[in-house]
Homo-oligomer: A and B are copies of this chain.
Amino acid sequence: MNGRFLGEPAIADRVRASAAELQYSPSHLARSLALGQTSAIAFVVPDLANPAFQAMLSSLSKTAAKDGYRVLVADSAESPEDEPLLVEEIRRRCDAIVLCAPRMPDAQLEALAADLAPLVLINRRNPEIHAPSLSIDYRSGIRTLARHLHSLGHRHLAYLEGPATSRSNEHRLRGLEEFEREEPEVRIDRLSGGVSSEDGHAAAARVRESGATAALAFNDLLAIGLLNGLLELGVRVPKEVSVTGFDDIPFARYTSPPLTTASVPHEELGVQAWHRMRALIARDEPAEDIVLQPRLEVRRSTAAAPR
C-alpha cells in the first residue's frame, strides 16, 4: 500500500482493489504511533482574533502543508496562568510547537522550554532558551514612528499601551524611553490601552484629555478603534491629533483616514517559522535567529502638529 512494493504489479493492483472494496483507510494514528511522529505541529497564540496572529497562522499552515505537516491551533485567551498547561497539553499531541508571543513569565517559559522542544519562538526572545526565535524590532519600530511624529512638529505624544504581559509592549516602552532621552523636549504620556478596537475606542476620551497632539497605539487594532473614537468625539484626525498604529494589518490602509503604521511582515514570519521548525525536526541546524525591522508606512492619519 505504501507505494514502494517490489513484487508483481498485478498483485499490487489486486490488493489495492480489495482495499477499496473493504473501504480500507489507513489509520494515521497507528502510523504515527509506530513511526513516532505525527506530522503535525502546534501553534499557540494569545488571541486568535488578532489579524496579526491570523496572518502568521495562515502562512504557517500553508507553508507547513507543502511538507505534509498540519497545524493544530490554540488560543490562550491572553491568560498567562493557563498558558503553561495549555502549551504542554497541545505539545504532547504533536511533533513540535510554535509559540507566538507567549504571555507567561520568563521563569516558567525557561522551565518549560526543554520539554517543548522542538520549539520555535515568535516575538519572545530569551537568551536562556535554546530554540530558534523570530522577532520584530518593536523598540526600533516605535522609535521610527515617534521620530516621524517629531519631524512633523509633535512634542506632546501619548502612547496607548498593550497588555501588561506582552513583551512586545515592553519593547515599545523601551523604544519610547530611548526616544525621550534623544529628544528631551518631547513629552510622552503612557495611557492604558488594551488589545482590541473596542479598547482603542474607549481610550479616545483619555487621549483627548491628555492634550497630546499625537497618539501612538500599541497596534493597529487599537489604533483603528482610537481613530473612530476620536472622530466620534469630534476630534479631527490628523488635523488636531495624529494617530499611528503598529503591524500594518491588511485593513490599515483602508481606514478613514488610512493609518500610518509600522509594517510587520507577518506572512514572512510564518514562512520562516516553518523553515526553522523543519530544520529542527530533521535535526539540522536551524538558520540563525532573525529580528525583522518594521517598515514605516506613512499614510494619512499623521500630519503636522497643530500650530
Copies in the complex: 2
Q: Is the CB of A75 closer than 8 A to any CB of chain B?
A: yes
Q: Is the CB of A256 closer than 8 A to any CB of chain B?
A: yes
Q: Is the CB of A129 closer than 8 A to any CB of chain B?
A: no
Residue of B nearest to A51 (CB): B51
A window 104-131: CB within 8 A of B: 115
Question: Residues of B contacting A228 with CB < 8 Å?
Answer: 253-254
Binds B, one of A57-65, A132-140, A175-183: A57-65
Q: How many residues of A contact B (CB 8 A)?
A: 46
Please give the distance in Å from A301's CB to the nearest CB on chain B.
Answer: 11
**Are A115 and B25 CB-contacts (below 8 A) given A65-B74, A70-B72?**
yes
Give the complex CA separation of A254 and B196 in angstroms. Answer: 13
Residue of B nearest to A257 (CB): B256
Binds B, one of A27-35, A146-154, A160-168, A205-213: A27-35
Residue positions of A touching B, CB distance < 8 A? 23, 25-30, 32-33, 38, 40, 48-49, 51, 54-55, 57-58, 61-62, 65, 70-75, 77, 88, 90, 92-93, 115, 197, 224-225, 227-228, 250-251, 253-258
Cross-chain pairs A/B with CB under 8 angstroms, 18 sampled: A23-B115, A26-B92, A27-B33, A27-B92, A29-B32, A29-B38, A33-B33, A49-B55, A49-B58, A54-B54, A57-B73, A65-B74, A71-B72, A73-B73, A197-B254, A251-B251, A255-B255, A256-B257
